[in-house]
Amino acid sequence: MQNQESNSRQGYRIIAVDDEEGIIDSLSVYLKKLGYNLVGVTNPVEAIEMVKKEHYDLMLLDFIMTPLHGDKVVEEIRKFNKELYILLLTGHKDLAPPLETIKRLDIQGYCEKSDKFDQLLLLIESGLKSIDQMREIKKINEELSLAYDKLENAYLESIQTLRYTVEAKDPYTRGHSDRVSEYSVLIGKKLELSETEIRTLKIGGLFHDIGKIGVPDNILKKPGKLTDDEYSEIKNHPSIGAHILAPATIFQDIIPIVKHHHEKFDGNGYPSRLKGENIPYLARIAAIADTFDAMTSKRTYRNELPIEVVKEEFIKYKGIQFDPDLVEVFIDILENEYDKIEEIQQKYMNEAVSIN
């Protein structure tokens, strides 16, 4: 049993720091005899560099030292290592740092120096148990993260399959979602949105029409204009898409785009007739990207519209169908960064054109 405990203790690396060589020698003899893997250091500056370069599980640290006191050593270490378990040793309780300092620096415990190391040994054993628990928690979190990533990828692949199914049902949508995704990202970058918002725009654009999986084929593939009843069926696709994505946590951020990219700024859109700033911001961006691609794509009943006509339409419906501020931003892109639009169009020029 004693050999098992000794082997177990060897699995942890302890560094002791005290500017009194006699203290280091005593600690080394005592703890190594019990089977601990301990390194002793008398120079606190050297100790900081050692912790920076090598892994240690626990530090025994004297408080009053030269050239650095223990709290300053911890301050430096916490800049690059938040996990090291630190026990502060004090020559007298009156010389211990304030409780606020101990909390701020995340010092796990301290004890007074003594000729006997019984109390220190208890704190070391307690510290190692805490380290064990943290290792186990970290391992569990890593396993959960891996499992979640696998689940996320599996669900993403299944939704991607649905997207391809929509394109197979309706060849006019092929390439449309990809372009809407890229136009949305282009607008988002112009607005200097965060990376998280840019990613949401990208994925939201890709899946914004996923709900068309629930629209009858004869309506999707109809070559001419739709009847009022058929158009009502088409108008269901945002709600259907939101319903498809709702069960998966990973898609919660893009659901507002999927559900509300056909809302109008004046409140006359669908499915919820949201008005103005009640329409989710990213959905307002996707609405511009979606409409732009519809206008600049060839339909069965018309060719793509000239860019000047497209700009006129956006200006005409500014504040009616579209967020007026976003229209201004998009017009600026069309007038000053049109080469980026052309790059996206060139990329998908071999794809079939879209239907809005």
Cβ 238 vs Cβ 263: under 8 Å: no
Top-confidence residue, 65 or 98? 65
Report how far residue 156's alpha carbon sits from residue 277's, in angstroms, rounded to the nearest whole number. Answer: 30
Full set of structural domains in the chain with CATH: 2-131 (3.40.50.2300), 165-347 (1.10.3210.10)
Question: What average pLDDT score do residues 36-50 get?
Answer: 95
Report how far residue 348's alpha carbon sits from residue 356's, in angstroms, rounded to the nearest whole number. Answer: 16
Average pLDDT, the chain: 86
Mention every residue, 6+ apart, whose C-beta is less than 8 A from residue 346. none
338-347 and 324-336 helices, crossing angle to 10°: 80
Model confidence band, residue 13 (pLDDT cutoffs 50, 70, 90) = very high
Query: What are phi and psi for residue 69, nearest 5 degrees?
Result: -75, 160
pTM of the model: 0.59
In this predicted structure, what is the pLDDT of residue 352? 43
Question: What average pLDDT score do residues 29-44 get?
Answer: 93
Report how far residue 108's alpha carbon sits from residue 130's, in angstroms, rounded to the nearest whole number. Answer: 10
Neighbours of 267 (CB within 10 A): 13
Q: How many CA atoms lie within 13 A of 130 on its CB side?
A: 15
pLDDT in tens, 130-172: 888 888 878 887 777 777 677 777 767 777 777 777 766 666 6
CA distances from 154 to 89, 121, 147, 255, 322 (A): 52, 49, 11, 18, 35
Report how far residue 156's alpha carbon sits from residue 142's, in angstroms, rounded to the nearest whole number. Answer: 21
Neighbours of 4 (CB within 10 A): 9
Neighbours of 279 (CB within 10 A): 22
Model confidence band, residue 174 (pLDDT cutoffs 50, 70, 90) = low
End-to-end CA distance of the chain: 74
Mention every residue, 6+ apart, whose C-beta is less than 8 A from residue 233. 215, 216, 219
User: Environment class of residue 55 by beta-carbon count within 10 Å: exposed (0-12), middle (13-18) or buried (19+)?
Assistant: exposed
Top-confidence residue, 24 or 118? 24
pLDDT in tens, 99-134: 787 888 888 887 888 777 888 898 999 989 988 888
Handedness of CA 102, 107, 108, 113 (dihedral sign): negative
Report how far residue 135's alpha carbon sits from residue 267's, in angstroms, rounded to the nearest whole number. Answer: 54
User: Environment class of residue 112 by beta-carbon count within 10 Å: exposed (0-12), middle (13-18) or buried (19+)?
Assistant: middle
In this predicted structure, what is the pLDDT of residue 8? 59
CA distances from 56 to 69, 162, 168 (A): 20, 50, 58
pLDDT at 1 over 50: no
The backbone region for 277, taken as left when phi is positive above 0, alpha when psi lies in -120 to 50, beta otherwise, is alpha
Top-confidence residue, 15 or 156? 15
Report how far residue 320's alpha carbon sits from residue 324's, in angstroms, rounded to the nearest whole number. Answer: 8
pLDDT in tens, 325-353: 999 999 999 999 999 999 998 887 754 44
60 three-class SS? strand
Report how far residue 12's alpha carbon sits from residue 117's, in angstroms, rounded to the nearest whole number. Answer: 19
Question: What average pLDDT score do residues 57-64 get?
Answer: 92
- Give the catalytic positions in this structure: 212
pLDDT in tens, 269-325: 999 999 999 999 999 999 999 999 999 987 766 788 999 999 999 999 999 999 999
